[in-house]
Structure 1
Amino acid sequence: MIDVQRLRVLRMVAEHGSFNKAAAALRLTPSAVSQHIAALERSLGAQVVARSTRGVTLTQAGRIMVGAAESVAAELELARQQVDRLNTGRVQLTVATFTSGGRHLLPGALARLLATHPHTVLHVREGEPEDTLPLVRQGAVDLALAYHFDGPLPTGPGPGSSLHWTALLEDPLHVVLPEGHRLAGRESLDIAELAAEPWVLGCSKTEAYLRRYAERAGFEPEMRGTTTDYFFARSLVAAGMGISLIPSIALVPAVPGVHAVPVKAPAPTRHIGVATIDRRRDHPHVTTFIRALREQAAQQPESGHG
């Protein structure tokens, strides 16, 4: 029989990439973590991690077992919620979201959900997709409002196929320029036209995305600053520090002194959607909430240039 605690230890090793970091997260000693993994390997008759001086990586057997660990954790959390519902008569729904998406999509969707299910106990957790999508797989949250660029979903270790993705909207990025900039009157811009400009950006992933586009255009962008807030980044543009690359929904509320111009096709775009796991997405509250998010996304106006 496979020990559930050993599966939990393996999941943490996969998440952190080392025995020492997993031990710290679990409040165990590295030796205890190593013993759990060794015992799991003995019970399976297969190696689940490959050890090296750079840390540990999952073997094929390890990836299979991490997927099983995610499923077990999700089932136990779902069972706990069902027991809680029996004891209290209330349904709890935990929603994870990234900041700009949550600001524009969640309030209206939450209001729609509560109008249909007024006794729902709601919890909201803020975080980036690479942090929240693994929580969906583990059953720690019921669904996550998330995004990705032109790559796959950042699902973390284990089989991302266990996630069900419902697309909500396309969120193209705009170049944000100071008022009076020589290019501010253009209807659209090519990234290559901005090779000589300094940049201030609103998140590290946008910076990585810009660098990929800039490399294709044959230049190295000069970074003057990276923030964790798009509003702050636009304020720095208004102050004359540089230009920025901002998703459409993060252009609201307006910041005086800046002008947003669309990027020419193929424009860099965030793909926004909601992630669930199959065993949760047919739950009436989850179904209602996803429908509410889709309705809210459909009402998003086209971004202005302010």
Structure 2
Amino acid sequence: AGAGAGVPAGPLRIAAFRSAALHLLPRALGRLTERHPGIVPEVRIVREVGRGTAGEVLDGRADLGIATLGTTSPVPPELVGGVLVEEGYALVHPAGHPAPRSLPLIDWTENCTSYTRDWWAGQEWLPPATVRAEDDGTVLSMVGTGFGMAVMPELSLVGAPPSVEITDLGPDRPTRSVGYVTTPELASSLAVRALIRELRAIAG
């Protein structure tokens, strides 16, 4: 909308998984609407499982999706996209616990790609997950109350409470690529291009 006048305006539909919607989008959308007050962002939080946020774009319910990308979850051939941030995983456990690796492992469905699962399988110290939560916020809350430990990506750990301690997993830790996907047609629209610029600026 507004393309004829060279001014982006109108609704901009965005699909994002929870941690991206909480910790990546707000600053980008703040900058976007400050520069282009005619744009009205509409954000839908979608679980990044199955077709995830890319499916929302493919089905026409979103103009742009914030998605996990990589060799095991590539950009669908009908879409275009790019990586915004590469985030590492860390061990999260109750602060001050004398033996955090002895705790039960907590996991959630949309946690990681098959690449990360392969890394998990090679870690003899990691037990099978005995608790599976609905989202990363629940996992962080359970860890903070001393219920168990977890391996979580950096975006999920933004603003972690003091009741949890974050331990680096070293140079061989798994990583996750977070990026955007859209259609080739929408990629050339003023509003989508403006949002991608702000997302890149925030990620950078």
Q: Mapping of 1:120-199 within 5 angstroms?
A: 120-129=39-48, 130-148=51-69, 151-153=72-74, 160-182=76-98, 194=101, 197-199=103-105
Return the TM-score normalized by structure 1: 0.57
Seen in structure 2, the aligned counterparts of structure 1 residues 177 and 161 have a Cα distance that, compared at 3 Å, is same
Q: Partner residue of 1:281?
A: 187
The AA in structure 2 aligned to 1:147 is: T
- Measured after TM superposition, the shift of residue 260 of structure 1 is 0.5
Q: Partner residue of 1:294?
A: 200
CA displacement 1:127-185 (0-9 Å, x = unmatched): 024232122123321100111465123x6xxxx2121121100111110122223467x
Which of structures 1 and 2 has the larger relative contact order (alpha carbons within 8 angstroms, sep 6+)? 2
Q: Partner residue of 1:76?
A: none
Residue among 197, 202, 213 paired with 2:119 = 213
Distance 1:128 1:239 in 2: 25
Which 4+ runs in 1 deviate beyond 6 A? Answer: none
* Greater share of helix: 1
Q: Is the 8 A contact 1:178 1:257 kept in 2?
A: yes
Q: Is the 8 A contact 2:103 2:148 kept in 1?
A: yes
Distance 2:28 2:96 in 1: 38
Q: Is the 8 A contact 2:9 2:37 kept in 1?
A: no
Q: Partner residue of 2:128?
A: 222
Q: Is the 8 A contact 2:187 2:193 kept in 1?
A: yes
Which of 1 and 2 has greater Rg? 1
Aligned residues: 197
Q: Mapping of 1:242-281 within 5 angstroms?
A: 242-281=148-187
Return the TM-score normalized by structure 2: 0.83
- Measured after TM superposition, the shift of residue 116 of structure 1 is 2.3
The AA in structure 2 aligned to 1:140 is: R
* Residue ranges of structure 1 left out of the alignment (5+ in a row): 1-80, 185-193, 299-306
